[in-house]
């Protein structure tokens, strides 16, 4: 029985998705379902996802809408409706999870808490050396020395965030500092994200809408973030960054001024949606 829903924000890049799914296949905790939140990939890609879904050892749902530009928040809200569990873990299609990633999110969940881990940013060179098979065989965890070397002499960054810490004392020390949420690495109770009506769909550009905005509105309700730095680890596959837009920041400033946790532009915009989610 699934105890969590892993929601993967996705668009078009099947090869990266294969590597993320390979990382999920080797998770120490396998009690999860996968929901692919597809922001409008073309028909050939949808067909490939169907093949992956049929061959997968775990249950995969694929939710999709037409491509009308960057509408990540809208498809994430649609993905929430497809989930069958009470706990949601959010990742991106370019973030390969550490073997203990799911277990740590599930083991550390608590009432009135949402969790956020961190990621290593892999260089183009290191990323090109990866394959789904290598990931299934534990290449990323087994070659931490190569990753550190690439962090020092190459172009990988934040490699220290890939150090998996098991000591409870060191975990507390490392995570004393308050950090911001990462949209590609956080988890939350279903009831809590529905209390703010999910993601605000007015954000139609990368950043803020899928992370900072969510954190701000959850914290208005007294739901606080707990950091899982060096605990819930991801390896971010290299790609060029999409440009950040001022309109996102302007919207976030407006929301901060109003201090309203519940967005009218979220999950519940159609008759019956909220009721169906609470059944």
pLDDT by residue (tens digit) across 202-242? Answer: 999 999 999 999 999 999 999 999 999 999 999 999 998 87
pLDDT by residue (tens digit) across 9-34? Answer: 999 999 999 999 999 999 999 999 99
The Cα 5–Cα 90 span in angstroms is 8
The whole-model pTM stands at 0.95
Q: Does the pLDDT value for residue 140 go beyond 60?
A: yes
96 CB contacts (<8 Å, ≥6 apart)?
Answer: 19, 20, 22, 23, 130, 135, 140, 234, 235, 236, 237
Residues facing residue 233 across a β-bridge:
118
pLDDT band at 276 (very low <50, low <70, confident <90, very high): very low
Q: Does the pLDDT value for residue 243 go beyond 90?
A: no
CB 199 within 8 A of CB 87: no
Residues facing residue 61 across a β-bridge:
35
Q: Does the pLDDT value for residue 272 go beyond 90?
A: no
pLDDT by residue (tens digit) across 84-111? Answer: 999 999 999 999 999 999 999 999 999 9
DSSP string, 193-230: HHHTTS--TT--SSSSTTTHHHHHHHHHTT-EEEE-TT
Domains of the chain (ranges, CATH numbers): 4-278 (3.90.550.10)
CB 228 within 8 A of CB 109: no
């Amino acid at each position: 029985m699934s105890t969590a829903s892993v929601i993967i924000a996705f668009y078009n890049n099947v090869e990266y998705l294969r590597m993320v799914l390979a990382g999920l296949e080797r998770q120490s905790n396998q009690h999860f379902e996968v929901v692919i939140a597809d922001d409008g990939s073309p028909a050939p890609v949808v067909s490939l996802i169907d093949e992956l879904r049929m061959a997968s050892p775990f249950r995969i749902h694929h939710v999709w809408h037409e491509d009308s530009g960057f509408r990540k928040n809208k498809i994430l809200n649609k993905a929430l409706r497809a989930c069958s569990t009470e706990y949601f873990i959010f990742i991106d299609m370019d973030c390969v999870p550490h073997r203990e990633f799911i277990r740590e999110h599930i083991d550390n969940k608590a009432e009135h808490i949402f969790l956020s881990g961190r990621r290593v940013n892999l260089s183009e060179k290191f990323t090109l050396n990866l394959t789904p098979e290598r990931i299934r065989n534990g290449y990323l965890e087994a070659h931490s020395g190569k990753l550190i070397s690439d962090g020092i002499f190459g172009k990988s960054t934040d490699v220290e965030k890939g150090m998996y810490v098991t000591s409870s004392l060191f975990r507390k020390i490392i995570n004393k500092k308050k950090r911001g949420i990462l949209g590609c690495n956080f988890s939350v109770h279903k009831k809590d994200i529905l209390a703010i009506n999910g993601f605000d769909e007015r954000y139609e550009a990368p950043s803020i809408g899928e992370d900072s905005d969510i954190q701000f509105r959850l914290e208005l309700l007294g739901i606080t973030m707990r950091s899982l730095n060096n605990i819930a680890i991801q390896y971010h596959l290299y790609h060029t960054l999409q440009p950040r837009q001022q309109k996102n920041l302007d919207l976030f400033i407006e929301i901060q001024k109003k201090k309203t946790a519940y967005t009218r532009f979220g999950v519940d915009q159609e008759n019956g949606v909220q009721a169906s989610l609470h059944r």
